[in-house]
Amino acid sequence: MNGMEIETIQQMLAIVTLFLGALLIGIIFNAYRIVRQPTLLIFIYGLFTLVVGITFADLVSVLTPDAFAVAWSAIFSRIVVILGLCVMAYSIMRG
């Protein structure tokens, strides 16, 4: 496998991750509608942020070949992942 094939596989897996994250958010939102507990809603916000952060750098590489944008999107992606994890941890600690 050359580098281009690996990058294509990585981009396809990012899209699959985005769809699976959306499915998981939908399932948890249905649970929220049943129990109406604000903690689940905060957890969903954190999960959304986490999924966007995980897939952001790969989706930017799909949309633009600019190396500068791809490098900064990787840094921004890590920051968003950390924020998403913090929001999810807050919702769990909140109970």
Domain definitions of the chain by residue range: 3-94
64 DSSP 8-state letter? -
3-state secondary structure 4-22: HHHHHHHHHHHHHHHHHHH
pLDDT digits (tens, 9 = 90+) for 30-49: 999 999 999 999 999 999 99
Query: Tens digits of per-residue pLDDT, 2-31?
Result: 878 888 898 899 999 999 999 999 999 999
pTM here? Answer: 0.85
Q: Rounded to the nearest 10 degrees, how much is the dihedral formed by the CA atoms of 11, 12, 15, 17? A: -100
